Chains A and B, each alone.
Chain A
């Protein structure tokens, strides 16, 4: 049963990943990305990471991909990209060769891998009387409290950054940019 779930979720993940790379239309790529993310969420459940599986679906499939689709449709870039033309000659074969080399290297590492670390240094992941959510939250709010607080600052910075980036420049700022470099704002 575990093997069946693993194989199905693994195939969905890999097909989705290949779809992201090979689809010519960015909207299709984004939808294929959803398939990959769901496959990963299933693999998380399969490995007793229930909370992370839920977060994976809510944050990634729910928020990140929707953001991608919003941007694609807002910008109107859902035109097809010509995948047969290679703008930089020889780049594509080189990229695939390098990728295969890296895959080989990582697979060799996996094959020779013996997990040597001390188990449960940050607390046991499996517990008889606690669910995964309880174990993870206890760890986050005690041992990892400082990083947890730091992520809130990071999110605040990201929000401020996004607002600043998306804002239209005021007239005075535009005049400023125009003086510096007229080429910059040709399409404004």
Chain B
């Protein structure tokens, strides 16, 4: 355990912030989705770091489940995006205003 866990946590915090800012800044739905993946990965890194710091396998088991849920989320999310683009080619997040009152 040579690199202290705090460094990994700092890296994960930076990664999470980049993902969050990207989600707010970008307009392309696909890139926004990739930013969500960045945030998920940052949290995974945090879990693995804590698993090492506490010498607990539970953290790694949670990351395993997060990976499964992320895969399912990507499949359904991309399905939704495909059906949106089929209706309106070239749509950005600003154009999807069907629910706007």
Chain A contacts to B: CB under 8 angstroms: 1-3, 6, 10, 13-14, 17-18, 20-21, 26, 29-30, 33, 36-37, 40, 43-44, 46-49, 51-52, 55-56, 59-60, 63-64, 67-68, 71-72, 74-77, 79, 81, 87-88, 91-92, 95-96, 98-100, 102-103, 106-107, 110-111, 113, 115, 117-126, 132, 135-136, 139-140, 143-144, 147-148, 151, 154-155, 157-159, 161-162, 165-166, 184-188
Residue of B whose beta carbon sits closest to that of A97: B21
Q: In the complex the two chains form, is A165's CB within 8 Å of B79's CB?
A: yes
By a CB distance below 8 angstroms, the chain B residues around A74 are 82
With A17-B22, A21-B35, A47-B48 already in contact, 4 other A-B pairs whose C-beta atoms are closer than 8 Å: A36-B41, A52-B67, A115-B53, A187-B86
Q: How far is the CA of A75 from the CA of B37 in the complex (A)?
A: 20
Q: Is the CB–CB distance between A158 and B57 below 8 Å?
A: no
Q: How many residues from B make CB contacts under 8 Å with A?
A: 75
Q: Which chain B positions have C-beta within 8 A of A26? A: 28, 30-31
Task: Judge whether A161 and B17 touch: CB under 8 Å.
Answer: no
Q: CA A99 – CA B9 in complex, angstroms?
A: 17
Q: List 30 A-B contacts (CB under 8 A).
A: A2-B2, A6-B8, A20-B22, A21-B21, A21-B26, A21-B31, A21-B35, A36-B38, A43-B48, A47-B51, A51-B60, A52-B64, A60-B67, A64-B37, A67-B78, A71-B81, A81-B27, A81-B28, A91-B24, A91-B25, A99-B18, A99-B21, A102-B20, A103-B17, A120-B56, A121-B58, A123-B56, A139-B60, A166-B79, A188-B86
